[in-house]
Structure 1
């Protein structure tokens, strides 16, 4: 087993963090390009938002495929091959002749993007001892956030200089260089042993998770919150690209630096949960998200940036608590329980444009805020229910 802080640990952790960074660079690079792509292909805001929605939906489906598949064929091959094909998809996106082909390529890319997230932590679990695993997972999740920010900055910056095609080409070339380094850094798996996949047992575990009220509540909370959070960023790009702001793709990409507020809240969430408990932290996170959404109604760009930063703080606080809540309360098959949380998470993201588009068409950004508040009211109710439920069961020792 690989132990923490050894050269082998640093090499493997760096490889997996690089892989995670590349996944989220490719997933989110098109987001600041949405206004330009909308004009280039002559489609509606709902139509062009499908570029983000279809990729996250395909990613969610891939999680259910690559995880079990890796038990049979190994995790290394899946990560290497899917990352390589992801980079090639980004290059192909630069030359998509029409909107339909652009959408098809993003669906394929979204599916391929699920390869590494589905198996990376399982790879660590096979190869690392427990202290090494805990240290590596924290860095790996941090790379997710940096990849999301980096993808938008790279896509937006290159897109402003050379158009959307330049954005896709830049991300594709970066990915291929990164994949070459990933292949070189990732050590060969030594502790992995193939296991027979049993579909019936996997489906039984999934059904049990969905019947577990505490898990289902966390699934819904995470999925609905992400539905609102990530799609607010899509619609804010349309708002800020229009007058009176008139921001170009490069500056639109920079608004995603507000994600750093979420990086901070994720780092502090464990300490905060020790004082307040996980459900109350979820309540607090959603209240912060509600408040930040309200601030974005301002006509001042600096205040809009402040509101988005507040949103990131609240969302990632609630998300980190909900995801760890699942691991804590899953009675068995924790791996599939956590994977199911991610399925709800990304399916939620894929449905956001369908929910928010009517509000956008009716009342612009004010409508998006109203649509956001309606669903965040639902997740606030779920979080309050979990908080009250934990207060009831805590004397019995079920929750600590």
Structure 2
């Protein structure tokens, strides 16, 4: 097994972080472009939100394919090929002039973007020892946040000077460069043991994961938190694009620098987990997320941005803990277990806009905040329930 801070650990962690960065650059580059795309294609706020929703929805479906497939054929090849196809999708998008075709290509792109997230943590679970895994997962999820920032900032800045076409072209070229480095750095898997791909066995593993309350609780926490978090960012772009803020595409892209709060939260998650139980860390992250949403209700732009930083810190702290919790609690088919967590995660992202839209129409950002607290209250309760379950198991194990 690869140990923390060894040469192979650094190579593998850097490669997977770079791959994660590439995935989220492609996935989120469109988000700061939503107000412009709404005007160019003359569609509603709910319709233009589908540019994000179709990608996250097909990504969720892809996880159910790539997770079990990786348990049978290995994980490295899946990551390399899917990243290549995703980059080409971004290079094709600038030549699309029909909204329906834009959604189709984004849907295909979302599917192939599922290749790396479906298997990366499982790859680490195979190759890294326990301490190396916990440290690497925090860094890996930090790269998620950097990819989210990079995609949105690149998309916003390129869109300001060259329109939405330039945004996708820039992201596609950057993705090819990142893929070349990823391809060279990722070490060959040594501990992976293939299992024959049998549909019945794969479905049986998924069923057992869903019947495991310790896993199902984490799945719901990840999905419902992301249900709120990512869609808050979509609606904040509409809020800040309007008076009195009237931010341009470039500056709408720059608001996603607030994701750096999530980068910090993810990077610190491994250290915090050495002091607190993982479910307690999840509770802490959700409480911080709720507090940040309160801060965004301010009318001042600096305080709104501070609230988004706090939200990102809390969300990614919880997400890092929930992800590594799943890898630890899965007793079999780790690829499928990790993939199932992300299925919940990205289905949440896809559906959150439909939930928040009526609140937005009825009460603007105040409505979005109230709707957010309703859901976050549920995930806070779920985290507390996992904490109690873990403590009971520890008491039983410690009994003579």
Alignment TM-score, normalising by the size of structure 1: 0.91
CA distance in 2, matches of 1:124, 1:305: 34
Q: Is it true that 1:26 corresponds to 2:9 in the alignment?
A: no
Tell me the residue number matched to 2:384. 384
Deviates more, 1:324-333 or 1:38-47: 324-333
Q: Give the C-alpha shift of residue 143 in structure 1.
A: 2.0
CA distance in 2, matches of 1:287, 1:127: 33
Equivalent positions of 1:166-177 (< 5 A) are 166-177=166-177
1:361-389 CA-to-partner distances (Å, cap 9, x unmatched) read 11111111121112112212222333344
Q: Is the 8 A contact 2:139 2:267 kept in 1?
A: no
CA distance in 2, matches of 1:226, 1:216: 15
CA distance in 2, matches of 1:61, 1:398: 41
CA distance in 2, matches of 1:195, 1:330: 16
CA distance in 1, matches of 2:21, 2:140: 9
SS at match of 1:244: coil
Q: Is it true that 1:15 corresponds to 2:15 in the alignment?
A: yes
Equivalent positions of 1:225-264 (< 5 A) are 225-264=225-264
Q: 1:118 to 1:376 in 2, by over 3 A?
A: same
1:23-45 CA-to-partner distances (Å, cap 9, x unmatched) read 11101111111111111111111
Q: Give the C-alpha shift of residue 238 in structure 1.
A: 0.6
1:240-277 CA-to-partner distances (Å, cap 9, x unmatched) read 01111011122111111111112222233334344442
CA RMSD across the alignment: 2.5
SS at match of 1:163: helix
1:94-133 CA-to-partner distances (Å, cap 9, x unmatched) read 1211111111111000001011222334445556677766
Equivalent positions of 1:1-400 (< 5 A) are 10-124=10-124, 136-187=136-187, 194-397=194-397
1:200-242 CA-to-partner distances (Å, cap 9, x unmatched) read 1221121122122222122111110111011100100110011
Deviates more, 1:72-81 or 1:337-346: 72-81
Alignment TM-score, normalising by the size of structure 2: 0.91
SS at match of 1:247: coil
Q: Is the 8 A contact 2:117 2:339 kept in 1?
A: no
Q: 1:156 to 1:189 in 2, by over 3 A?
A: same
CA distance in 2, matches of 1:352, 1:8: 39
CA distance in 2, matches of 1:124, 1:270: 15
Unaligned runs of 5+ in 2: none
CA distance in 1, matches of 2:193, 2:334: 19
SS at match of 1:168: helix
CA distance in 2, matches of 1:71, 1:388: 32
